[in-house]
Amino acid sequence: MLNGKTVLITGGSGSFGKKFVEVVLRDYPNVKKVIVFSRDEQHQWDMQQQFPKNKYPMMRYFIGDVRDLDRLKRAFNDVDVVVHAAAIRNVDTAEYNPDECIKTNVLGAQNVINAAIECGVKDVVALSSDKACEPTTLYGATKLTSDKLFCAANNISGGKDIRFSVVRFSNVLGSTGSPYPIFKRAIQNGDKSIKLTSAEMTRFNISIVEGVGLVLYAIGHHVGGEIFVPKCMSYRVTDLAKAMAPKLAIEEIGLRPNEKLHEVLIPAADAQNTVDLGRCYVILPAHAFNHSNQEIISHHKAQYVPEDFCYSSNLNSEWETVESLAAKIKRYIDPRN
């Protein structure tokens, strides 16, 4: 699928970008070029040590910002596939710096779209977040806007042979936005309890490898306009605390402002446009002008979900246990322990 092609990932020096590059280099040895585009010089330098030029001559690194349309155009020259992972993700940072969040997450998304169309890119897949579902924060609102922009981009591409789609998944277990690092700090600090905002809280669980896999699936199978959503297992946050620190007490401190009790990847309002592909769900575009939703359904051999469908972490049928969470932490996040 990617052999012989040039692939660029915005925000490519972040945790997702690093794993994406690792998987592409491993599974597509004949990829033409892999371009890491980001504004983080130090992380790019670290990646160059991880993927040295003498061993990976196809690697390229561009310092740049998605806010800079001219720089994007320069970077997208002769690129076949773009994965858009750049974003301001921290909820509190977004609330305190709303204009900066909008410049990156919304205007930056439109810049990626414009540069991709102008430069003849063939496939564009943007990363989304569970917080884009019925958003209660500025970050979530900007990601919902970004999702809408990428899905609608298929309608403004004219006669260009280009497809835009979105992949939406939850926070990766162990990532900065997940409960894991908060609990880890409490353990390292010698706290006597694990502080939870609510003992009823649930979250979806997805590994970064699974996230990369869904992005690659979308690149290879999308028609344009889809939002791909993985089928994940759920976990109770209390079970994660028990898996990490079974001897510590659990203390409830109350929900933070705008914090959701459960994670939602597909809200009930989108059920009428959601289909089941087997390995994942797809939210069809609400307005498609270059091809019909029936064409997308036929392409994916998909079936509509029930009318009352809502994909929320508390309503899931598949659940992690304390034991399975402990095993995954040891395998994927903290193998030294």
**Residues 31-47: tens digit of each pLDDT:** 999 999 999 999 999 99
For the chain, what is the domain count? 1
pLDDT at 302 over 70: yes
Alpha-carbon dihedral sign for residues 165, 44, 19, 316: negative
Mean pLDDT of 253-262: 91
Q: Tell me the pLDDT band of 337, cut-offs 50, 70 and 90.
A: low
Between CA 60 and CA 53 the distance in angstroms is 9
Mean pLDDT of 39-56: 96
pLDDT at 238 over 90: yes
Q: Report yes or no on 325 lying in a domain.
A: no
Query: What residues are paired with 312 via a beta bridge?
Result: 264
Residue 336, pLDDT score: 61
Phi/psi at 224 (5° precision):
125, 125
Q: Report yes or no on 283 lying in a domain.
A: yes
pLDDT at 105 over 80: yes
Cβ–Cβ contacts within 10 Å for residue 30, how many?
A: 9
pLDDT at 260 over 90: yes
Q: Report yes or no on 328 lying in a domain.
A: no
Q: Report yes or no on 176 lying in a domain.
A: no
Mean pLDDT of 222-250: 95
276, containing H or E segment: strand 274-276
pLDDT at 178 over 90: no
Distances (CA, A) of 183 to 19, 136, 207, 324: 24, 24, 18, 17
| Segment 107-142, tens digit of pLDDT | 999 999 999 999 999 999 999 999 999 999 999 999
Which residue range forms the structural domain that includes residue 21?
6-170+205-231+264-312
Q: Report yes or no on 43 lying in a domain.
A: yes
Between CA 146 and CA 123 the distance in angstroms is 17
Q: Which residue has the higher pLDDT, 296 or 304?
A: 304
Q: Report yes or no on 142 lying in a domain.
A: yes
Phi/psi at 69 (5° precision):
-65, -40
Cα–Cα nearest to 194, from 207, 176, 181, 206:
181
pLDDT, mean over the chain: 94
Residue 335, pLDDT score: 64
Residue 195: HSE in the Cβ half-sphere, 13 Å Cα cutoff: 11
- Strands 227-230 and 280-283, by their bridges, are antiparallel
Cα–Cα nearest to 18, from 163, 6, 80, 45:
45
- Which residues form the catalytic set? 131
Q: Which pTM does this prediction carry?
A: 0.95
Q: Tell me the pLDDT band of 254, cut-offs 50, 70 and 90.
A: very high
Between CA 279 and CA 237 the distance in angstroms is 25
Q: Report yes or no on 285 lying in a domain.
A: yes
- CATH classification at residue 165: 3.40.50.720
Between CA 247 and CA 113 the distance in angstroms is 50
pLDDT at 85 over 80: yes
pLDDT at 296 over 90: no
Residue 331, pLDDT score: 81
311, containing H or E segment: strand 311-312
Buried b vs exposed e over 173-204: b needs ≥16 C-beta within 10 Å?
Answer: bbbebbbbeebbebeeeeeeebebbbeebbbb
Q: Tell me the pLDDT band of 57, cut-offs 50, 70 and 90.
A: very high
Q: Report yes or no on 196 lying in a domain.
A: no
Q: Tell me the pLDDT band of 172, cut-offs 50, 70 and 90.
A: confident
Residue 330, pLDDT score: 85
Between CA 77 and CA 66 the distance in angstroms is 15
